[in-house]
Amino acid sequence: MQAAQRIMTTPREEQLSVFVHTAQNFPMLARSLVRTKVDDKMKREILKNQNQLSAQMDVNPSDAALFINGMYFDMDFTDIYTLLDHIRTEDRVMGGLYKLGVPGESLSTLLNIDLSESKQDYGIDIRDTAIVWMNDIENDRAYSKWSSSVGELLRPTYPGMLRSIRKNFHNLVIVAEPEKATTADLIRLVEGFLTHNAPVRIGIVMSVNPDQTLRGYDDAGVAMLCAFNYVAQNLEGREDANYKALQFLVDLYSNVQGDITVDDVTSHFKSKYRSVDLEDVFGEDSDYDVGRMLAQEFVEKAGITSLPQALMNGVPLPEKHLNADEFEEVVLMDVMRTTQTLQRAVYKGQLEDKHDVVDWLMSLPNIMPRLNERILSTKNSKFIDLTGTSGETLSSVPVESFATQKAPEMTATLANSCRYITTKNDHTLRPLTVWIVGDFDTYEGRAILLEGVKYLRESNSIRICAIHNTDLSSESPKLFSRAVEVAQTTLPPAVARQFLAKVLEKDNAKKIIAGTKKWKDFEIAGLDIDAFTSRMNSFKDSVFKAHSVFCKKVLALSPGQRTVVANGRHLGTFKATEKFVMEDFGLLEKYVHSTFGEKLTEVLIGEDPPVNSDISDLTMKVAGVLQTKPQSKGRTTVNLRSDQYSVVKIPARNPNMPVFDIVAVCDPVSNAAQKIGPILMVLQEIVNAEIRVVLNAREKHSEMPLRRFYRYVLEPEPQFTEAGDMTAGPYARFTGLPESSILTLNYHAPENWLVEVVKSVYDLDNIKLDLVETGVHSEFELEHLLLEGHCFEQSSGNPPRGLQFTLGNRQQPVLVDTIVMANLGYFQLKANPGAWLLRLRQGRSADIYTIASHEGTDTPVGSEDVEIIISSFRSHVVKVRVGKQPGKQHLELLADENEESGGLWNSITREHANDSPISTVIVCPSLNSAEPPSTFLNSAGSVYFPGSGDGLYFPELY
């Protein structure tokens, strides 16, 4: 507390500097600090604040914490690059909100709204007739001896044990093309679940060619569907009828390698049912060719784009785990997670015996009427910059000038020109603004706009604007593009909706194009059709040209391509045959409402004084800005009992601009203070921040709290010489150190940095300054950045001991190599900034194994090489899964090829067995498993760190 007292008695503008000086040079100042008298008011305030911090935030005396706009950072594990990335993101978001006119208090409130993507997994309702269920745990006799009470979920069991309860708690649906070889493994595995009476309800959806002109003799998938239906219907009335049909498929897969053909199906069917006429089953008049369209509709509704797919209680399982090696494990893990959810529901009385379990599961908030990955995942989305300002509209600026504008200004000009289609003619707040982009003279463009317009009848919380991505090279009269633009810009919103819902309908559009119907045939109340037709005839195409420029420059679309932009979020370019229907617009609205719509509108509507802007426009723009803000954890408001006597306060340089709120809680004589202090000094210079340092000092110390001198090397900006050249680099200087003590010069670098001493005259482990004439000068250099990773076998999940990787480029494939350690499959390779190729080393590693999958890499889609780009000084960690080559499953990397010879050590023994009795000694280095391999990469340059004692520690080199 004496250190805190000295800091607080210093003039306010010098308090932070004194804080840094005290922390970094404490051993020198300790004797003078002991004589400092502590003010009772400061002491009481520190104790009160410590009680408050401990109760609310679990920050105890002498603990350290750093909060930037409420985001917590643990400085023991956070590097400066993470901090700077966060500050850049926050500055961009705060600057964008400031440009939109959001006042200071609301700005802070908006930053605290959690707009991050929901961590829950969305699912589809599985109460669908397209699913053929193989079993029913609640009704089948095979499970009759199981308890039917949901209370059994609360009974203690051994960890990992599946609970045998006669309820359909776990419903697994396989959606697959039955004729594909990739389906066979999954079908065999789920058949195993049924054979062993696992408490999992199994369902199958056979996705086959929906073309009704194809029959069983024409398509293998259709043939398998017909055969399956025949077996099931032939045993109708038996509860295992569908299970027997599934066994037919399993037997068929056992007889065929690869994809199944029509001949494979018919021959296997004939061997099982010799007396059945194949024409009755697979022919044109087959009664068993049913369910194709139902399956197709389910696949579209579930948003499934690649097969096979598995749904657990309606939630899709990760595609990367849908293989023979990992499928069972991922299913069982999901069963365990679902069991915990069910247990909580039973304990709280939300799930009881009287409830239908499947109905209860399908009523959960994560179950959607339709799934669409474009909406539910932002992984492939892009965000438009809506913070631009422009006082112009498309009608007031020439197309040539519009094309020269920057993207934010171009977007602002377009937004000023937008007229929206809504359900009612009012200015009610609508939190969802949708721009539908397409060529509306094509059927695909009209279809997506029609679905959006039709959805407006279902909701008054959405507004729609059509953006024309017309093919200007076409000589077409652009009949519908003109009609859409005139309707949305000149008609009342509700009238425009009704009119477009009629004329965009498929049959009506065909008749208008053919000339069999005129625009006046679709006249409605509130529409002067003559005036509308006149405006269409006098309409100028300059709007289409401007819209096309926007689509090309901002949305990166080619002419005619379609997309949807929701509150500035670009959902991606739609495929030519991709549908976006009413249910998708409903899903989009539900997603927006659940993630941020409700929270955002509460803040903007409750603004006092009210915002001076169109509230729907402001909501769209604010949502567009906030959606770009990555957020993985909540924000915290640091509340103190008092901040008068023990808090260092540094006001913002410009309080009229967006202000960062930075709060540091730490003991002024702690290791954390030595690091946080210099960071705060730099942040004070580079950002407009209001900084508070809460002195979390201990009342008494039983021993010396700090025994090291410390410098944190961090510059607010690059340094140059008078000649304009960049200086040699940042440095740390230590002065006034004790001369009689033996000191050690050490450095703290990030774990992925390989730093070595390149210039030093003296032994840095044993420095005695009274023996040095002119001081100690040392230079350190960052030699390499370490590429770190973990490797596991795909089948067993164990590290492949002895597996070797190489790192290089296309010109030199092998520049460095490494071996996978048995401890967590860890490996590391020396790299530098640039593009690299990670490969298995040629020899036994590449002969036995192949890379099955990888994460954290920069490999382009379709590339067979594992490409990694080192583009920053931050740690880069990859995860690799390897599988054994076909026919090599029995081989081991570290085993001798000749097993009978007794292995490597016996071969050494035999080599010397006939020689004279000379002792052969093999010296192996003993590697401590707790040390990272980088310690042994260059033994000549190794630096050993003393654990404690009086020493001189070099700064972290950032």
Residue 310 has, within 13 A of its CA and on its CB side, a CA count of: 26
* Lowest mean pLDDT segment, chosen from 90-94, 290-294, 945-949: 945-949
Roughly what angle, to the nearest 10 degrees, separates helices 104-111 and 80-99?
Answer: 130
Paired sense of beta strands 201-206 and 171-176, if any: parallel
* Overall residue count recorded for the chain in this entry: 958
At 379, the pLDDT band (50, 70, 90 cuts) reads: confident
CATH of 737-888, one of 3.30.1490.110, 3.40.50.300, 3.40.1190.20, 2.60.40.10: 2.60.40.10
Q: Assign 3-class secondary structure to 234-245.
A: HCCCCCCHHHHH
Two tokens at 259? 């994809």
SS (H, E, C) 248-296: HHHHHHHHCCCCCCHHHHHHHHHHHCCCCCHHHHHCCCCCCCCCHHHHH
Whether 903 has a pLDDT exceeding 70, the answer reads no
- pLDDT of 761 strictly over 90: no
Q: Which residues is 869 bridged to in the sheet?
A: 835
Which of 703, 698, 951 is CA-nearest to residue 3? 698
What pLDDT does 950 receive? 34
Give residue 606's pLDDT band: very low, low, confident or very high (50, 70, 90): low
Residue-level pLDDT at 62: 80
pLDDT in tens, 388-398: 888 889 988 99
Q: pLDDT grade, residue 937 (50/70/90)?
A: very low
Rounded mean pLDDT, 737-751: 87
Q: Which residues contact 283 (CB under 8 A, 6 or more apart)?
A: 215, 216, 217
Note the pLDDT of residue 631.
61
- Closest C-alpha to 635, from 596, 655, 658, 663: 663
The 10 Å Cβ neighbour count of residue 579 is 14
Q: Which two tokens stand for residue 526?
A: 């509130």
Nearest to 308 by CA among 186, 125, 422: 186
* The Cα angle at residue 516 between residues 510 and 517, in degrees rounded to 5: 80
pLDDT digits (tens, 9 = 90+) for 525-568: 888 899 999 998 888 888 999 999 999 999 999 999 999 999 99
Burial (CB < 10 A; 0-12, 13-18, 19+), residue 353, is exposed
Whether 557 contacts 563, CB under 8 Å = yes
pLDDT band at 792 (very low <50, low <70, confident <90, very high): very high
Is residue 926's pLDDT more than 60? no
User: Among 645, 781, 632, which residue's Cα sits nearest to residue 119?
Assistant: 632
- Most confidently predicted of 44-53, 635-644, 944-953: 44-53
pLDDT single digits (tens) 311-366: 999 999 988 888 888 899 899 999 999 999 999 999 999 999 999 999 999 999 88
* Rounded Cα–Cα distance for residues 550 and 669 (Å): 57
What pLDDT, on the 0 to 100 scale, is given for residue 449? 96
- Give pLDDT tens digits for 560-582: 999 999 999 999 999 988 889 99
Share of the chain residues as helix, strand and coil, in percent rounded to the nearest 5: 35, 15, 45
Q: What is the pTM of this model?
A: 0.77
Domains 123-370 and 375-624 share a fold: yes
Assigned CATH topology for domain 123-370: Glutaredoxin (3.40.30)
Place of tokens 């017309």: 470
What does the alpha-carbon distance between residue 832 and residue 810 come to, in Å, rounded to a whole number? 15
Q: What pLDDT is attached to residue 613?
A: 53
- Does the pLDDT value for residue 303 go beyond 90? no
d(CA 94, CA 709): 38
User: H or E element: which one contains 566?
Assistant: strand 563-566
Torsion sign across C-alpha atoms 497, 503, 506, 508: positive
Contact 436, 579 (CB under 8 A): no
CATH topology of domain 375-624: Glutaredoxin (3.40.30)
pLDDT at 321: 86
Mean pLDDT, the chain, integer: 86
Instruction: Enumerate the domain spans of the chain.
Output: 1-114+633-695, 123-370, 375-624, 737-888
Q: Is the pLDDT of residue 935 over 70?
A: no
